[in-house]
Structure 1
Amino acid sequence: MTTHATLNSTVPEPRSAVLDDAHVGDIKGALGTIRLDDTTPRHGLSARLKTLLAIIGPGLIVMVGDNDAGAFSTYGQAGQNYGTQLLWTLLMLVPVLYVNQEMVLRLGAVTGVGHARLILERFGKFWGAFSVIDLFLLNALTLVTEFIGVTLAAGYLGLPKAASVVLAAGIIIASAFTGSFRRFERVAVALCLGSLLLVPIYFMVHPKTSQMAHDFVVPSMPGGSGQLAAVMLVIVSIVGTTVAPWQLFFQQSYVIDKRITPRFMKYEKADLWIGIVIVIVGAAAMMGLTAAAFAGTDGFGQFSDAAAVARGIEDKAGHLAGVLFAIALLDASIIGAFAVSLSTAYAIGDVFGIKHSLHRGVKGAKGFYGIYAGLVVAAAAITLLSTDYTQGLMTQFVQVLAGVLLPSATVFLLLLCNDRAVLGPWTNGPRTNAFTSAVVGVLVMLSLILTAAVVWPDISSDAILWIMAGCGVAGVLVAGYFFTFGRRGTKEDPVDRTGRENWRMPPLETLDKPVLSTARKVGMGALRAYLLIAMAMVVVKIVQTALNH
């Protein structure tokens, strides 16, 4: 593509699929710049390092942003109630995190079109509307949990809660309203570095490193079969808070807004790995230091909230450790609010054709910034007006809704990454498809367990084992069907991956509509039915709980 480097003269070529011309031009990252016309090969360590520094951002922010207020609560609960026995779940999630976000990265760099818009164009109005509506609802509730995290941190630090929420909202809004992508990213990267506060807290509390290393690689189920239901709910929460639907929408749009193209794919993959390492280290540190803080105390097994975790850390390692934990919680809540708000504004801008770029000033993208600020203000207001009970109910609803919606998000991601009209030479290979299909199966199983546990709180361990067994049998039958019949009549020429660094998706309106096979139509129909039934059951249960209270 040939364009000028300035925003005012940046106009994509007629064949480009990019929806906002601000998404084409120089890469202006927090830590460096790459000019649009800079096609010089990167030879030598110094040149590659400078390129990596300029690219760093999307993968780092999306990963660290997921260690937010909800994550502090989930990992704190795992550590306080079960010690370090669930650390292995983090290791199991590493390949899931990478494969999911790598597919999103490819979609963003190759297509130049956001996730929600691709779903709308390739799967129709129902799924397009569903993806935006559920993202909007889930993100709005998630934002409330971020501000709940702000109130918990402020309460521990002795700060006025109302003023803290208003100040946090002001920082979140002001950082995006500069009209400069680079300024926003510098603030976001600085907050990401703030998440490393968990490392010194870890050494101040000094949990047993040998025990953590063992539990990180050796799976175990604490409490035996009698506590299977409770433990499975915590595992589902860990999966839901670590692999969240908003991540898919955020990274794809942020990669586009940063103007990253396939030429820099390997650098963006490195950025993603940096983010994964930081998020796993942070999650493991939270589990370990919480486990050490409450081991042998009356508080073990009695998790309430992140503020109580801070008090337990203070009792174990002193006031400074508790203060650092509260600051880390505050930092995590703000970076989480950044990412969740942006993912919503990007998605709505994509679907409705609103100019949506951090490169634009407020006057140049009023709708985009209005959605972003409106979400933040609304979430802050709800937090200030709600009671402790309703806040707890909303936090529960967010976790459940994320768990219910995650399988569908991964299904669409997998389908898009096998759409040759969309990704051309960048489509998935057989191994990626096999692994992601297995992940979808596991996510569906966990989603069913979570939905059943919310609707029937007294569900037995035997019932959960039956659900797992049923899902396993169904998975084997589906895999057997596709292995036996799935390839008949659908053989395609091998993917030609030569010259893919310069391949971009043509405009969406020029693409042929995908033809769905009978099996895929049945699967999509079943997915639609499950989502509608599961969401209805969860909403009814949440309303009943609120009314009974």
Structure 2
Amino acid sequence: MKKLFQNIGPSALIAAAFIGPGTITVCSMAGIAFGYDLLWALLFSILATIVLQEMSARLGLVTGKDLAGLIRIYFTTPWKKILSLILVIVAIVLGNAAYEAGNITGAVLGFDAVFKLDKVSFFEMDLNILPILIGGIAIFILALGSYKKIENVLMLLVVLMSLSFVISALLIAPDWLGIAKGIFVPSFPENSLTSILAIVGTTVVPYNLFLHSAIVQEKWNSPNAIKYARWDIFIAVGLGGIVSMAVLISGAALYQEGIMTSDFSKFADSLAPLYGDYASYLLGFGFFAAGITSTITAALAAAYVLKSTLNWQGKSGKLYFKLVWIGIILSGVIFSSLGIQPLELIQTAQISNAILLPFAAIFLYIIVSNKKWMGKYKNNFWQSAFGFFILLFSLFLGFKSVLKFIS
């Protein structure tokens, strides 16, 4: 048991990535709009995440390559290779640059919910200095250089974030019978499809499939470590699922009181008169931790993907790798500080991600089901069956997301 706990690590980055401001907002709004009714969608999302991330980790440990690198090798026809790599770069690198503003803004909202800081004027513009502070913290953590140190910092933040959201959910004295029903009895309230798709889409994150296959190789270097990787995934992603459910349960408290809001800061403030200032402070800190951990992992994922797709090697490769994650964070700081929302860029990123999720999941599924690539570690019957079901759902999710943005 001691050895198992010593081997926990890479999946903390995965949990830190999907428990971001987007997930917190989606889950809280789902709770406010539908109470406990959509908890089952969260359970499905977590199970799907565990299955796909296990495939990603297994692929990295068996092949010694990450998903982006395998895509570059797998396609031999030039136009297929170029098209697939462009899609990956647009969705992951450009997409994460666009979302970084949202991650940093989320951390700022959480910080502001606790400390109530005002903006400062700079050259006749209202400038929020908090994004600069958040960006500086993220750059400092990544500049530690050691993967182990980065992993430890993120593990600490994930644990503190988990405690803050779980305690805030317990403070509101939830209806445990209603929670059990929401988890195990699927229901589809009127106008809930968009929320269901959003819950799945913010939990099953495409860039995590690329990131996980790379970072497991920083921790282990042998297929013999698959059992530890599975334990790591079950613990960290399971904890992430509990956090997401705690946020939805907190939102459901306002649903039961008949209070509607569409803004996180108002959501946190709305809990204060009902359940005390502690609830809003805990949610504020949780939102801050969610924002800063997602800021770090989004930048790291973009750097890993670009490194693999462009096959960067040696000292120059390490320099380019560092410049990518610095650039991703700085783009988020600039957009967040000036209050600029790069809407067209974000929309492009969302469409690309909607297309990329089934693309990445299908490619991952093909590789880990192939005995030539995976040997005895290829998918078994149950992994193949559940994986295929997840693929069908991801195709549906991608189709609905594209239609939504076209309309």
| Structure 1 and Structure 2 fold alike (TM over 0.5) | yes
Alpha-carbon distance in 2 for matches of 1:107, 1:423: 7
2: CA distance between counterparts of 1:144 and 1:339? Answer: 13
CA distance in 1, matches of 2:44, 2:262: 26
Question: Contact between 1:109 and 1:260, CA under 8 Å: does it hold in 2?
Answer: yes
**Cα deviations by residue, 1:30-53 (Å, 9 ceiling, x for unpaired):** xxxxxxxxxxxxxxxxxxx33223
Higher relative contact order (CA 8 A, sep 6+): 2
Other-structure match for 1:206: 173
TM-score for both structures, normalised by structure 2: 0.90
Partner of 1:95 in structure 2? 47
Question: Which residue does the alignment assign to 1:464?
Answer: none
State which of 433, 440, 443 in structure 1 corresponds to 2:384.
Answer: 433
User: Measured at CA, do residues 182 and 160 of structure 1 come closer, stay the same or move farther in structure 2, by a change above 3 Å?
Assistant: farther
Within a 5 Å distance, the mapping from 1:240-279 to structure 2 comes to 240-279=201-240
Corresponding residue of 1:159: 117
CA distance in 1, matches of 2:157, 2:335: 24
Cα distance in 1 between the residues matched to 2:262 and 2:214 = 36
Say which SS state the counterpart of residue 251 (structure 2) adopts. helix
Q: Is 1:148 the counterpart of 2:105 in the alignment?
A: yes
Residues in 2 aligned to 1:286 and 1:58: alpha-carbon distance in whole angstroms: 24
Whether 1:448 aligns to 2:406 is: no
Residues 192-229 of structure 1, C-alpha deviations (whole Å, 9 max, x = no match): 11122111111112221111111111111123xxx3xx
Quick check: 1:331 aligned with 2:293?
no
For residue 393 of structure 1, report the CA deviation from its aligned partner: 7.4
- 1:386-401 aligned within 5 A: 386-387=339-340, 390=341, 399=350, 401=352
- From 95, 105, 114, the equivalent of 2:66 is 114
Query: Hey, what's the Cα distance between the residues in 2 that align with 1:290 and 1:308?
Result: 11
The answer to whether structure 1 residue 420 and structure 2 residue 371 are counterparts is: yes
Structure richer in helix, relative to its length: 2
From the CA coordinates, give the structure whose radius of gyration is larger: 1
Which residue in the other structure is 2:148 paired with?
Answer: 182
Tell me how far 1:132 sits from its aligned partner: 2.4
Q: CA deviation at 1:337?
A: 1.3
Is the contact between residue 383 and residue 391 of structure 1 (CA under 8 Å) also seen in structure 2?
A: no
User: Residue 261 of structure 1 aligns to which amino acid in structure 2?
Assistant: S
- The residue type equivalent to 1:150 in the other structure is A
Does residue 138 of structure 1 match 2:95?
yes
Aligned to 2:306: 348
Runs of 5+ in structure 1 lacking a partner?
Answer: 1-48, 357-361, 457-549
Deviations 1:138-195 (A, max 9, x none): 2112212101202322332312462221111111111111222222111111111112
Q: CA deviation at 1:120?
A: 1.0
Change (3 A) 1:331 1:217: same
Identity in percent: 25
Q: 1:403 aligns with which of 354, 359, 363?
A: 354
- Quick one: structure 1 residues 353 and 402, their matched pair in 2 at CA, closer, same or farther if it must change by over 3 Å? closer
The answer to whether the Cα contact below 8 Å between 1:64 and 1:195 also exists between their aligned partners in 2 is no
* Separation in 2, partners of 1:306, 1:260: 42
CA RMSD of aligned residues (A): 2.2
Q: Deviations over 1:254-273 (max 9, x none)?
A: 11122342111111101100
| TM-score for the superposition, normalised by structure 1 | 0.68
Question: Which runs of at least 4 in structure 1 moved beyond 4 Å after TM superposition?
Answer: 391-401
Residue identity opposite 1:348 in structure 2: L
Query: Which residue type is aligned with residue 444 of structure 1?
Result: L
Aligned to 2:125: none
User: Are the equivalent residues in 1 in contact too, given 2:88–2:356 (CA < 8 A)?
Assistant: no
Higher deviation after alignment, 324-333 or 313-322: 313-322
Q: 1:55: how far off?
A: 1.7
Contact conserved, 2:307 with 2:317, CA < 8 A, in 1? no
Secondary structure at the aligned position of 2:239 is classed as helix
Paired letter, 2:325: Y
2:100–2:331 Cα contact (<8 Å) kept: no
Q: Tell me which amino acid in the other structure corresponds to 2:251.
A: T
* Partners of 2:118 and 2:136 in 1: CA distance: 15
Describe the shift of the 1:354–1:338 C-alpha distance in structure 2 as closer, same or farther (beyond 3 A): same
Match of 1:322 among 280, 288, 291: 280
How far apart, in 1, do the equivalents of 2:357 and 2:208 lie? Answer: 11
Alpha-carbon offset, residue 244 of structure 1: 0.8
CA–CA distance in 2 between the matches of 1:393 and 1:211? 40
Which residue pairs with 2:328 in the alignment?
Answer: 375
Distance 1:286 1:127 in 2: 36
Aligned partner of residue 65 in structure 1, secondary structure: helix
Query: Deviation of residue 377 (structure 1)?
Result: 0.6
Look up the match of 1:503: none
